Copies of this chain bind each other. A is one copy, B any other.
Amino acid sequence: MSTLNSEKLPRIGVLGGMGPLASAMFMVQLVEATPAAFDRDHFPHTLDSSPQIPDRPTAIAGRGPDPLVEIIEAIKRLEASGASLITMPCNTVHHWYDGIAASTSLPVLHIADAVAECIRSQLPAAKRVGVLGSTVTSKLLVYEKRLGDEWQWVFATDDELTQSVMPGIAAVKAGNLPLGREHFLQAVTNMIQRKVDVVVFACTEIPIVLKAEDVPVPTIDSSLALALHTVKVAQSMRVRKDEAA
């Protein structure tokens, strides 16, 4: 991508902090996904990392405040920073997608759309898709609700969520990456036994510690998929600006 100095590129707004390490690593993926020869070829972006947004699983369990109020405050800060679109490197928060999208006139990307694009292009024959994510993502069907029946969805069981996935997420958030890896390896081993064609790392904490080569079936990193999708959408907004000129 080559940029004229006079061209104003769209600013990417990143709603982060859930968790902070996953958000920071997403920023690296976002930059690496951008074709650029110079600093100025990169899209400007603003990361609003707000780790004090109330805990999502606790809210769903009815034991804590609704996070949507503080999420919308963060969206307003991103709007004020000049953002042209919103992207959210956290799968669980997409349970609140409709409320978030309704709060702003900016386009809000959906991580499941990004993953779907990757599956269609990389694994067109895939039928059974394993979604390895948090209890909220799994039980409240964040992917199924967005993408319908294009694929057969496979999730972790209640026991696997309680004993492996959620402890793995907590370990990564606490900075204990080896423990997180151990839990996720157990969870992915169980999921593969249910004959999935692909495993989606549908929690942005997972690819921090688990790589494609750790898993004997194809995998999709939802964080990387979102980075690629975000750059693609930002580029399409740029083209429209060029055409308008």
Q: Are A32 and B27 neighbours in the complex by a CB distance under 8 Å?
A: no
CB < 8 Å neighbour of A175 from B21, B24, B36, B47: B36
Determine whether A84 belongs to the interface, using a CB cutoff of 8 Å to chain B: no
Q: Are A47 and B44 neighbours in the complex by a CB distance under 8 Å?
A: no
Determine the interface band of chain A, counting residues with CB < 8 A from chain B. 35 or more
Given A27-B24, A28-B21, A31-B20, residue A51 in contact with residue B39 (CB < 8 A) = yes
Determine whether A66 belongs to the interface, using a CB cutoff of 8 Å to chain B: no
Determine whether A9 belongs to the interface, using a CB cutoff of 8 Å to chain B: yes
Q: Which of A14-41 contact B (CB under 8 A)?
A: 17-21, 23-25, 27-28, 30-32, 34, 36-41
Q: Which of the listed residues A42, A82, A175 has the most CB atoms from chain B within 10 Å of its own CB? A: A42
Q: Are A46 and B174 neighbours in the complex by a CB distance under 8 Å?
A: no
Closest chain B residue, CB of each to CB of A45: B49
Determine whether A113 belongs to the interface, using a CB cutoff of 8 Å to chain B: no
Task: State the CA gap A47–B77 with chains docked (Å).
Answer: 12
Determine whether A103 belongs to the interface, using a CB cutoff of 8 Å to chain B: no
Closest chain B residue, CB of each to CB of A34: B20
Q: Which of A157-188 contact B (CB under 8 A)?
A: 173-175
Q: Which of A191-240 contact B (CB under 8 A)?
A: none
A70 to chain B, nearest CB (A): 10
Task: State the CA gap A42–B173 with chains docked (Å).
Answer: 10
Q: Encode contact with B along A136-159: 1 for CB under 8 Å, 0 otherwise.
A: 000000000000000000000000
* Chain B residues, Cβ within 8 Å of A51: 39-44
Given A20-B31, A24-B28, residue A36 in contact with residue B81 (CB < 8 A) = no
Contacts A17-B42, A47-B47 known; list 8 others, CB within 8 Å. A18-B39, A20-B39, A21-B31, A23-B27, A27-B47, A46-B46, A48-B81, A80-B81
Contact residues of A with B, CB < 8 Å? 5, 9, 17-21, 23-25, 27-28, 30-32, 34, 36-53, 55, 77, 80-82, 173-175
Closest 5 CB pairs of A and B: A24-B27, A47-B47, A39-B51, A42-B51, A24-B28
